Amino acid sequence: MTSSLHDRSLLRSRSLMVSELPRPAFGISVTPLAARYDAIVEQVLAADRRGLDLVGIQDHPYQRRFLDTFALIADLLARTERLRVFPDVASLPMRPPAMLAKAAASLDVISGGRFELGLGAGAFWDAVAGMGGPRRSSDERTEALSEAIAIIRAALDAGPEKRVVQGLGPHYPIPGYPAGPPARHRIEIWVGAMAPKTLDLIGRVADGWVPASGIARIAELPSLSSRVDEAALAADRDPADIRRVLNIDGVITAGPERGGPLDGPVEHWIETLVTWSLELGVDAFVLWPRDESLSQVERFAAEVAPAVRERFARRGLDDGPSASL
């Protein structure tokens, strides 16, 4: 039998972590529009300056208006000092796992250990096929994702040894290659998904879960999270080791609550995020600013995130920014 949601949240908040990312953590997501490049840089620099933890960038290579996600990540890592950056989430059909592992390790080395790998099984299959990628059924997506995680994890865990990484296929047959360079820290693999079989896979092998629908299906999060937990326990893993990263959207207003679950004043945001963290076990909140304005990022970083952290500090639930293995 799994523990209660509240108990699981306490375990996650108190457990030692793979990286120095605090729980709960806070970040923003930026849309990689080429026409808004200057605004993206401004938002990310504000997030770094204001003490946020994460920047996520969606990955749709077939979108002609978008910059390449990994090129943008490299640029933003070079401009910042403390933020961790991750693809939210990388399109596996467009990026072979051996090359994803190579890019992940390279970005981690260059940034001094500030890259995490968000990974998705794929979507928008007409667009993927139009750019030369595979068109996969639901079962094939999960199979390919499972193969890819095994390859990426083996490559990232190779360390300085000349370990040969192989893939048996059928989606990614890899005869064998020496993985490297060694990453600066153990890069976490966070999978974006909602399908039952993929949730089982996350519980068995992933380091984190990014619910693909964000807060649109927040009412389903307890049951979906329980499925991840049960799969983890069946694989003899501690469910507390699987980070929950929730993409959120809304407008911080000067007036009363309105519209979506987060639209409202700062105090409403604080109470809601504290509740979701404690009752749903959410470990990280990544804001997708609805109007993509700098003022919303500034308010989230200056007024919302510190207040939620303070609530956790008073409860004695946070590990603090220096917690690590």
* Cβ within 8 Å of residue 301, ≥6 positions away: 26, 46, 47, 50, 51, 52
Mean pLDDT of 94-118: 98
Mean pLDDT of 278-295: 91
pTM, two decimals, is 0.90
* Cβ within 8 Å of residue 96, ≥6 positions away: 172
What is the rounded CA–CA span in Å between residue 286 and residue 55? Answer: 8
Mean pLDDT of 14-40: 82
Q: What is the pLDDT of residue 317?
A: 53
Mean pLDDT of 267-271: 96
Residue 292 has pLDDT above 90, yes or no: no
Q: Which CATH class is domain 5-315?
A: alpha beta
CA distances from 18 to 36, 95, 159 (A): 34, 25, 16
CA distances from 260 to 61, 77, 204 (A): 30, 32, 33
Look at residue 211 and give its three-state secondary structure: strand
Residue 67 has pLDDT above 60, yes or no: yes
Residue 167 has pLDDT above 70, yes or no: yes
Mean pLDDT of 142-146: 98
The domains of the chain are located at 5-315
Q: What is the pLDDT of residue 323?
A: 32
pLDDT confidence band for 10 (50 / 70 / 90): very low
pLDDT one-digit tens code per residue, 203-233: 999 999 999 989 999 999 999 999 999 999 9
